[in-house]
């Protein structure tokens, strides 16, 4: 048997939704040469071969369960071990691993939770999952050079308005349920009490600084400014975006945001026209 075929058969058997013995008849219909298992599984009997495959099937599932618990630690705390186990079981049936790296197995869990019964009964669970996934995603993104206030030293009155910013790749702006941030903090601290608040959407900025990931709420003005900066708008265009929120205070507000972004290592580069 060629190695590729051997791997494919082994994969189909250990990733079956139920025990290998239950999945085997359907798989044999598509691949009659799958049996007898002893032809390619070292075992004294077919029953022993099934037992050996079940060991790998169980190991595979629990490896993914542990991995998703690492990606969503606070979600697992919130819903409890049993509910998280059942959630992962259903999730892997709907979204089996489809990439060589297990890093991406859990990327669909937030949207899966939105339609799941658990997501409907546990307030903010789906939004909490989204926060945890994006925090993990930001942590893994590539490093880039960081701009500082010193990079503004070359600006002149003529070039300042044409200045453009490039934000770091390890930065995301997402909409979340307002209840998520205090809930996440309580779970991080191990607090027994779960804060609650009326459901409402807020903009949350998530970024990495060094080896730590941070998140905070941004107001509508900064949200609009970040979206424009992400599109490489000029500083003059940023001020136009900010004007409906800040009016005559626009220049000061824009400079305050720029200083904050630079100090918190959110800007990769600052460029001026030649």
- The per-residue pLDDT for range 94-105, each reduced to its tens digit, is 998 888 888 999
* Segment among 16-25, 35-44, 176-185, 190-199 with least mean pLDDT: 190-199
Q: In three state form, how does the secondary structure of 185-249 look? A: HHHHHCCCCCCCCCCCEEEEEEEEECCEEEEEEECHHHHHHHHHHHCCCEHHHHHHHHHHHHHHH
Average pLDDT score over residue span 164-178: 95
Burial call 177-210: b when 16+ CB within 10 Å, e when fewer: bbbbbebbebbeeeeeeeeeeeeeebbbbbbbee
Contact status, residue 121 vs residue 80, Cβ threshold 8 Å: no
- What's the number of CA atoms in the CB half-sphere (13 Å) around residue 236? 8
Burial state string for 45-66 with b = 16 or more CB within 10 A and e = fewer than 16: eeeebbeebeeebeeebeebbe
Q: What percent of the chain has pLDDT over 70?
A: 99
Q: What is the mean pLDDT of residues 241-270?
A: 95
- Over 90: is that where the pLDDT of 274 sits? no
Query: 237 pLDDT band (50/70/90 cuts)?
Result: very high
* Nearest-angstrom CA–CA distance, 108 and 146: 31
76 with 69: CB under 8 angstroms? yes
Residue 143 DSSP label: P
* Residue pair 205/218 in contact by the 8 Å Cβ criterion: yes
CB 22 within 8 A of CB 10: no
Instruction: Parse the chain into domains and list their residue ranges.
Output: 72-271
- Checking if the pLDDT of 208 tops 90, the result is yes
Position 17 pLDDT exceeds 90: no
Average pLDDT over residues 115-137: 93
Angle at 213 between CA 171 and CA 124, to 5 degrees: 85
C-alpha of 246 from chain center: 33
The tens digit of pLDDT for each residue in 25-67 reads 988 998 998 899 998 888 999 999 999 999 998 999 999 999 9
Q: How confident is the model at residue 14 (pLDDT cuts 50, 70, 90)?
A: confident
Tell me the sheet residues that pair with 164: 234, 271
Cα angle 148, 265, 176 (rounded to 5 degrees) comes to 145
Across 61-75, 147-161, 198-212, least confident range: 147-161
Beta-bridge mates of residue 167: 267
Comparing 154 with 218, which gets the higher pLDDT? 218
Instruction: Grade residue 117 by pLDDT with cuts at 50, 70 and 90.
Output: very high
Rama region for 171: left / alpha / beta (φ>0; ψ in -120 to 50; rest): beta
More confident residue, 173 or 30: 173
For residues 197-207, average pLDDT: 87
pLDDT in tens, 129-152: 999 999 999 999 999 999 999 998
* Residue 55 Cα distances to 59, 66, 150, 207, angstroms: 6, 16, 59, 41
pLDDT of residue 13: 87
């Amino acid at each position: 048997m060629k190695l590729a075929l051997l791997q494919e058969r082994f994969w189909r058997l250990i990733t079956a939704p139920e025990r290998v013995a239950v999945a085997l008849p359907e798989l044999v219909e598509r691949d009659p040469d799958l049996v007898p298992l002893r032809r390619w599984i070292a075992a004294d009997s077919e029953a022993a071969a099934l037992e050996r495959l079940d060991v790998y099937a169980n190991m595979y599932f629990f490896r993914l369960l542990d991995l998703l618990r690492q990606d969503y630690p606070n979600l697992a705390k919130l819903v409890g071990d049993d509910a998280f186990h059942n959630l992962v079981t259903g999730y892997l049936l709907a979204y089996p691993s489809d990439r060589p790296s297990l890093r991406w197995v859990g990327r669909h869990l937030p949207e899966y939770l939105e339609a799941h019964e658990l997501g409907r009964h546990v307030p903010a669970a789906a939004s909490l999952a989204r926060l945890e996934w994006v925090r993990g995603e930001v942590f893994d993104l590539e490093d880039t050079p960081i701009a500082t206030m010193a990079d503004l030293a070359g600006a002149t009155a003529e070039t300042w308005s044409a200045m453009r910013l490039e934000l770091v790749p390890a930065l995301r702006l997402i909409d979340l349920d307002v209840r998520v941030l205090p809930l996440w903090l309580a779970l991080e601290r191990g607090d027994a009490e779960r804060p609650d608040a009326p459901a409402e959407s807020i903009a949350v900025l998530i970024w990495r600084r060094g080896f730590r990931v941070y998140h905070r709420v941004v107001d509508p003005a900064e949200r609009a400014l970040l979206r424009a900066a992400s599109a490489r708008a000029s500083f003059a265009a940023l001020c136009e975006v900010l004007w409906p929120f800040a009016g005559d205070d626009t220049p000061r507000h824009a400079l305050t945001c720029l200083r904050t972004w630079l100090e918190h290592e959110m800007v990769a580069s600052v460029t001026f026209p030649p």
